[in-house]
Structure 1
């Protein structure tokens, strides 16, 4: 090889090395923000923590949980409804999305038009439980007691699932009860255990530990199926009040303007995540059942809006 050829080869090698060294690194994928419209540590936040990491692995981009609590979940839902429809922000919400639409007269967004369902992570059964010292063992005895003396119940506040569940029982049984709102489920349960509250309606997994150790007494599951977590507790129909039906769903939604292609990609990823053995086991332990695709989620939303909005108005349950 002559001198000129060597010189050209050396120059080319240096140029390639410079180009490689100076070329910008590939940009990391933008994180996906999963907004939870409730405070950290609550049930919705716990579910977000279960699914967020594996979802990020399936999508190939990090998923960051962003807690934006306030106004019964409407603050976070409004944030997502008005977020840029670029596929970088999603909402993990619960049945509170429907209930808020019925109890809050002036929502800053339209839950039916401004948000699009992507995937139904599952639903959790709710149930009625009482303080043991109330002296009742079943729904018939509770109703007799409620008709003889005005009982009270605790909830997380006006329009929440605990409030609606207890009022569903009261209206079905045709009894009047006193509503005692608390700043969260935990203080309501503390007072139930202490005997200051007569009864509560809450998700089965929330009440299960206190039922197992005998600190509260189960009465009825608000569903057509018995709970696999508490199989000895009767269903509403078995207890004589089949109208007591209330399950709390958890699902992922996006702003209505987000591209259908991204929605389909996200739905497929979430379906894969909830069926991963470790995730499925944790969701089952949390009382989850019946996950569903976008169509199933839309059908559930339509049914809930059609059922609960008129019911809440008839019951005059309003936050303002």
Structure 2
């Protein structure tokens, strides 16, 4: 009989045949056969290769309510109906690499199938709401999240940020993934940290935080580089805002068919609730400290009228 473990993440109960230490403490259960109440089950299984014509450049495919991922030297994954993930690792795959793609692409696809708008970014708490910083790989999202954590702002999620139909960002894994040079700039030793997998120079940095509830997403910041020497924050509206949300949807190659119409509705709903701002950073001199300060100044300006009206009421 397999040894199963129960975890909690994104407000879901997850039963897994694969140990997932990245999610924190787990309750051991004998089998999922008699378990009740699990929202998502993760199990090992044998999966067929996808047709080459179905694969995106990132090795992703989707057919209705099933999404698949094929990762060279690691294995295959299928997210089914938002309730099950089947993992077929290669015999010599690094277990840490298997977990990286399971908790990244496969879990992101699962949240998409469950009806969430999944953003490729990092969420952090501001009072009773939150902000999300999105950007392409290498834009500095995780370094910026570490800077907000250093300043005392709880980080809800790193890399994968699901937003539910009510506009709430769902808390994810209690860790940030950072490159070694970013850790050096933060003055953080790597001696006690685990690499995300053996062939990668990124490290898992645990977060010290209590339990977090889903929070209303009020601000979305898009990290971009520019050739100038000033840091600018510019609002985005209309078609530009929709385009940016699609561009920074996690694994947007999976937004296909009926899912495309639903995604458009999700973006419209979010833009009705949240302010979207482009953060144009000077490529030569940008720092996490200056970017965090600029973002927090904008947030303070947003909050000040509300505070003033409360004080004068």
Structure of larger gyration radius: 1
* Structure with the higher fraction of residues in helix conformation: 1
TM-score (norm 2): 0.26
TM-score (norm 1): 0.26
